[in-house]
Structure 1
Amino acid sequence: MKKIIFLLVTLLIFSSCKEDKPENIEEIQTIPQPKIIYEFGYKLNDYKVINDTIKKGESFGVILDRHHVDYPIINKIASKIKDTFDVRRVRAGKPYTILAAKDSTEKAQVFIYKNNKSVATIVEFNDSIIHSYKYRKEIKTIEKEVHGKIYSSFSQSMDSLHINPYLTNEIADIYAWTLDFFKLQKEDTFKIIYEEKFIDDSTFVGYGDVKAAVFNHKGTNLYAYRYIPDPQKGIVEYYDEEGNMLRSQFLKSPIKFQYRISSRYNLKRRIKHYGYKVKPHRGTDFAANEGTPIMATASGIVTESAYRKRGNGNYVKIKHNNTYSTQYLHMSKRKVKRGQYVKQGDIIGWVGHTGSTEGRHVCYRFWKNGRQVDPLKQKLPAAEPLKKSLKPVFLTYITPLKEQLENITNYKSLDLKMDSNDITLKN
């Protein structure tokens, strides 16, 4: 009996210690807080944000007037910021953002003109402050690797890898003195280490440096390493694995891509049009589409830029030094004038079929010591190699790049994120 009484007392005490749960009390729900968004240095949550694009015929004044800024104030803004931002130069098609007051007036307080993907001009105005300045988004540089194989042409191979044509042209420029892209063969391969630039982690804004590359052409590796031999001058050059500069005194062709040699230098050529009589051809014809840019194969002074109805058509002649001169015939249009200095690779005209010619091409003629010779058979002078004193430093510099090129074994592009001086695989 005592045990039963003890158990009942214990049960009563335990029950009295428990808190009675109130009836009809709803569970408290947490109200989610809005995400705080910052852009261009502003907390966007504090404004009414209007994103738009400048329409044809719209001006800075028209846009601000539409967003409740009076014209006397607009004129005051334009006058105040004229040294940093000329409001007359806003262009149709450019995106912009208005940050307006979050009240009944919805009056614009900030105008953001997006110059490009990474740069914007900020115009801030209120009762006491009117000023403008450039805002630059942080650009992240991503190192990438690509490995490709030639099936038809280099440009088509790069297209198949979804590589922007800008990088294709950059590689063509680097190898312009050592590799004839028209003569690439099927199964030739290439590996490239290069950089891409992004803002907001995903928006592509262009390419950085091509750090290293190698073409395997006819079983031979042709290397290219980016190097600055004199940091004070800051001039970028590309060298092979032995420290020889890739840049030569002359380009191999006056046309960069998509050409074929339709007629070679031939002193015994017979032409049907002239009754198969021997008519020497002292030039090399590079056939290409009408309008294809023609480049100066070396730097020099334009000595002739003229039109000759019979024979040359539109043509340009350049004197490079006391030994060499070059001439470019049958242009559709000339870009340079007599006496003008042109640099190697500058566009001097465009492919056409003016003068005595049937097909669209540029006839490239080459003089050595005043005599026309076959440029494809000349041992042309190369640029100066790397100084012997710099070679040990250069070889040390390229060693990890060469190893990296050798370790690119697949045909898919790899993303490598550059974090300070470390390189790690990007997830």
Structure 2
Amino acid sequence: MNKRVAGIAGLVLVAVAVTFFIFKSQRDQVDPELFEEAEEELVEEVVEPQFKFGIPLDLYDVEEGNIRRNQTFADILLPYNLSHQDIYTIDRISKDVHSARNLVVGKPYTIFYSSDSIKRASYFVYEPNNTEYVIYQLTDSLAVFKETRTVEVVEKTMAGLITISLDHAIREQGGSAALVNAVADLYGWQIDMKGLFKGDWFKVIYEEKMVDGQSVGIGNIIGAEFNHRKNAYMAYAYDQGEGLNYFDEEGESNQKAFLRYPVEYSRISSRYNPNRFHPVLKRRTPHLGTDYAANRGTPIKAAGDGVIIERGYTKGNGNYVKIKHNNTYTTGYLHMSKFSSLKKGQRVRKGDVIGYVGKTGLATGYHLCFRFWKRGKQVDFLREELPAETPLKEDHRINFETVVQLTNKKLNDIPASWGDGRITASNE
């Protein structure tokens, strides 16, 4: 009996050993990558943390909005259990960075808040423009920081045919209002952009500023060619060490010391007229300025370099600014809806925004009344023989001619879908 049991036990041991050997052999023959893949599937996927303005999104709830009319910093944050004392402190410490009182209607903001027990704001982020944002830290130690986004400058080109207007031609090619204004300013003293002819055409090389793949404005115009009534007007950007200026192919400055249009791409609605009948006073009184009609809020630009010598309000002028450029020329800007941040006594550069179009004072519609003084006497701005920008210096002639050749090559390479085989002026 014992021998029989021992025999059965032996057979069982042999069977187990054979089964283990067969299983091991089969496993060894299976592609090891299958086992590696199985092991990899067990590894938990790592989720990268998400940030906005450098703040981790997984730690906070987020609410976004835009500043409403008459809305204050306190109006926005009191519902998020920020104390009056904290609001007072932020108001005080923000003055050196970006005052919490200077929130502009329509600008975006983001609130980061926790809602574990009560809804409390931790950060308030305000975006005054496309390239900057201000972080108001509302927990622990209160603080305010201004950050600047990385701006990529990309060189772009465009060709357009005038069928209706410059604005229409540029918009049709996907260009912006800023590009329209830049081209209008560039040729403001050579071509009347309100008097273009059907069939006029242009080519332009310009810089576009990009943030995270989105356009936030344009930079400098590198070169341009405008064919108006079959006459070619060339413009080449060149820096003689004093910043970019624009010259024609002969090296003559194609810009004046003053902008022709101190309001972005507007129209002249009323000229200098010593015998004008005043529409409000209902009597004949001289109009010693040039009126530029534009929509309310359109930016008004300093016509030239100078110093703000007056900034205020009168019954006739409304909100106005006066700039002294030198001992010969002074300019005035009337009927503004509001001023920019530039104050009396500050130096401005040509093109700086000094205010916005309105109809304050004695005005019937939205426009800028632009006044121009020469040696203390008001004169007709559009009839004055104004000084040109700095001419090309002879020791820059060779370098400038190289720039002309390179720019002409780029201009000629710009495709024009409406072209008919014509030779561009830069090739003639």
Question: What's the TM-score once normalised by structure 2's chain length?
Answer: 0.59
Asked whether the 8 Å contact 1:178–1:246 carries over to 2, the reply is: yes
Matched, 1:51 2:63: yes
What is the alpha-carbon distance in structure 1 between the residues aligned to residue 405 and residue 55 of structure 2?
A: 46
After superposition, residues 37-76 of structure 1 pair within 5 angstroms as: 37-45=50-58, 47-53=59-65, 56=68, 58-76=71-89
**Alignment partners' CA distance in 1, 2:295 and 2:115:** 55
Residue among 84, 92, 95 paired with 2:97 = 84
The CA deviation at 1:182 is: 4.3
Q: CA deviation at 1:174?
A: 1.0
The 3-state SS of whatever aligns with 1:63 is helix
1:216 to 227, 240, 251: 227
Match for 1:117 among 130, 140, 149? Answer: 130
Amino acid at match of 1:405: L
Partner secondary structure for residue 146 of structure 1: strand
Which of 196, 203, 212 aligns to 1:200? It is 212
Given that residues 167 and 177 in structure 2 are in contact (C-alpha distance below 8 angstroms), is that contact kept between their aligned partners in structure 1?
Answer: yes
Whether the 8 Å contact between 2:60 and 2:113 is mirrored in structure 1 is: yes
How large is the RMSD of aligned CA atoms in angstroms? 5.6
Counterpart position of 2:414 = 408
Q: Which amino acid aligns with 1:148?
A: G
Give the aligned partner of residue 153 of structure 1: 165
Which segment is superposed worse, 141-150 or 395-404? 395-404
Residue 261 of structure 1, CA deviation? 12
Q: Does 1:191 align with 2:203?
A: yes
**What residue number does 1:395 align with?**
401
Q: Residue 384 of structure 1: CA displacement?
A: 5.2
Q: Contact conserved, 1:182 with 1:257, CA < 8 A, in 2?
A: no
Q: 1:385 aligns with which of 388, 391, 402?
A: 391
Q: Which runs of 5+ in 2 are unaligned?
A: 1-17, 31-37, 272-289, 307-324, 338-347, 363-368, 419-428
Alpha-carbon distance in 2 for matches of 1:117, 1:168: 19
CA deviation map 1:55-89 (0-9, x unaligned): 64543334333223344444444445454343333
Question: In structure 2, how many angstroms separate the alpha carbons of the residues matched to 1:114 and 1:190?
Answer: 36
Q: Distance in 2 between matches of 1:295 and 1:156?
A: 23
CA contact (8 A) 1:197 1:206 kept: yes
Give the alignment partner of residue 25 of structure 2, picking from 12, 17, 38: 17
TM-aligned CA distance change 1:162 to 1:18, over 3 Å: closer
Name the SS of the counterpart of 2:236 in structure 1.
strand
Counterpart CA distance in 1 for 2:145 and 2:219 is 26
Gap change, CA 1:120 and 1:386, over 3 Å in 2: same
Deviation at 1:148, TM superposition (A): 0.7
- Using CA pairs below 8 Å that are at least 6 residues apart, which structure has the higher relative contact order? 1
Residues 137 and 143, structure 2, Cα contact 8 Å, conserved in 1: yes
Equivalent positions of 1:326-365 (< 5 A) are none
TM-superposed CA distance for 1:246, in Å, is 0.3
1:261-276 correspondence runs (5 A): none
Q: Separation in 1 of the partners of 2:66 and 2:294?
A: 36
Instruction: Tell me the TM-score normalized by structure 1.
Output: 0.60
Mapped partners of 1:180, 1:189: distance in 2: 14
Aligned equivalents of 1:299, 1:91: Cα separation in 2: 27
Query: 2:176 is matched by which residue type in structure 1?
Result: N
1:6 aligned residue: none
Q: Letter of the aligned partner of 1:90 in structure 2?
A: L
User: Given residue 236 of structure 1, which amino acid in structure 2 is its aligned partner?
Assistant: L
Identity, % of aligned positions: 27
Letter in 2 for 1:171: V
For residues 124-273 of structure 1, what are the structure 2 equivalents within 5 Å?
124-127=137-140, 129-201=141-213, 203-230=214-241, 234-248=242-256
Measure the CA separation in 2 of the matches of 1:157 and 1:217.
14
Provide closer, same or farther for how the CA distance between residues 290 and 252 of structure 1 changes in structure 2, counting only shifts above 3 A.
Answer: closer
> 1: distance between equivalents of 2:111 and 2:413?
50
Give the AA of the match of 1:385.
P
CA distance in 2, matches of 1:215, 1:49: 53
Q: Secondary structure at the match of 2:405?
A: helix
Change (3 A) 1:42 1:235: same
CA–CA distance in 2 between the matches of 1:398 and 1:43?
50
Q: How many residues align?
A: 341
Task: Report the structure, 1 or 2, having the larger helix content.
Answer: 2
Matched position secondary structure for 2:208: strand
